[in-house]
């Protein structure tokens, strides 16, 4: 793990974007194209605002979507497809974007995504960490052994509470019961993983991730086994680390 701590969330987002630019430029120079995975949520606002402005040949990049609610219309503010179209695809004209359609037949959607992502390795995955330390929608206790690239999961109450607190839904009851998510094993197959995790609400999850061993109940701990994982924090999310250290 490469740990990077900055004073403010915007600084963390900017430096992470610069790192991703360097990774993608190098990858494109070597193989002519690149494949990325993008996460969503309030913690990614600052990063994406800088990432779309980087000097990257977007037309040589294929993008995969990390997760999406089942049954949630794209017109709703909480839709991750809507989020990515408005905050990323509007500014970054990638060659292909594999967005997850949670409104159709979810089994067929998973099968299609699995077929496409298996065609070549993912070069860079942007993986956020939830307040319960989930990665994608792999809530604790997370399944570290599922071989399927994408799968259908039930969302935990703590995950739903985070979505309500961030303003995406009015109540826990409004949050869909299930989602389609990239699995832990597929995330770990990525050549590089970058996690941008600012704000005080993530402080406990970050501390539990860093101080503990690999634990299904703290899913983000599995990222520490990856050979190229970079973690970007601001002073708020990093605060408990200093006390623990």
Per-residue pLDDT for 239 more than 90? yes
Collapsing DSSP to helix, strand or coil, 210 comes out as: helix
Phi, psi of 94 (to 5 degrees): -70, 160
Which residues have a Cβ under 8 Å from the Cβ of 245 and sit 6 or more positions away? none
Arithmetic mean of pLDDT over the chain: 96
Tell me the DSSP string of 135-180. BTTBPSSP-S---SSEEEEEPPHHHHHHHHHTTS-SSGGGS-SEEE
Give per-residue pLDDT as tens, 68-118.
999 999 999 999 999 999 999 999 999 999 999 999 899 999 999 999 999
How remote is the C-alpha of 1 from its chain's centroid? 17
Collapsing DSSP to helix, strand or coil, 29 comes out as: helix
Give per-residue pLDDT as tens, 76-89.
999 999 999 999 99
Give per-residue pLDDT as tens, 173-204.
999 999 999 999 999 999 999 999 999 999 99
198-231 burial, b if ≥16 CB within 10 A, otherwise e?
bbebbbebbbbbbeeeebeebbbbbbeebeebbb
Query: For the chain, how long is the longest CA-to-CA vector?
Result: 48
Query: What are the tokens at 175?
Result: 């949050």
Q: How many CA atoms lie within 13 A of 9 on its CB side?
A: 17
Which helix or strand (DSSP H or E) is residue 208 part of? helix 203-211
Which residues have a Cβ under 8 Å from the Cβ of 25 and sit 6 or more positions away? 55, 56, 57
- pTM attached to this predicted model: 0.95
- What pLDDT score was predicted for residue 243? 74
Give per-residue pLDDT as tens, 146-173.
999 999 999 999 999 989 988 999 999 9
Only one residue has tokens 């099968």, namely 111
Query: What are the tokens at 57?
Result: 């040949």
Q: Provide, rounded to the nearest whole percent, the portion of the chain with pLDDT above 70.
A: 99
CA–CA dist 140, 133 (Å, integer): 8
How remote is the C-alpha of 76 from its chain's centroid? 20
């Amino acid at each position: 793990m490469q740990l990077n701590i900055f004073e403010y969330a915007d600084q963390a987002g900017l430096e992470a974007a610069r790192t991703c630019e360097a990774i993608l430029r190098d990858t494109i120079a070597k193989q002519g194209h690149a494949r990325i995975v993008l996460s969503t949520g309030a913690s990614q606002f600052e990063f994406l605002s800088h990432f779309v402005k980087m000097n990257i040949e977007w037309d040589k990049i294929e993008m995969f979507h990390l997760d999406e609610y089942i049954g949630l219309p794209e017109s709703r503010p909480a839709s991750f497809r809507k989020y990515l179209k408005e905050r990323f695809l509007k500014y970054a004209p990638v060659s292909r974007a594999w967005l997850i359609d949670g409104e159709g037949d979810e089994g067929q959607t998973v099968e299609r995504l699995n077929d496409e992502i298996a065609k070549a390795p993912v070069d860079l995955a942007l993986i956020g960490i939830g307040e319960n330390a989930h990665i994608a929608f792999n809530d604790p206790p997370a399944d570290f052994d599922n071989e399927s690239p994408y799968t259908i999961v039930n969302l935990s109450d703590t995950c739903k509470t985070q979505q309500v607190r961030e303003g995406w839904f009015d109540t826990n009851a409004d949050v869909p019961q299930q989602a389609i998510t990239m699995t832990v094993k597929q995330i770990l197959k990525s050549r590089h993983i970058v996690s941008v995790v600012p704000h005080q609400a993530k402080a406990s999850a970050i501390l539990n991730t860093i101080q503990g061993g690999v634990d299904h109940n703290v899913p983000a701990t599995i990222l520490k086994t990856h050979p190229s994982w970079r973690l970007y924090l601001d002073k708020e999310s990093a605060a408990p680390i200093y006390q623990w250290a």
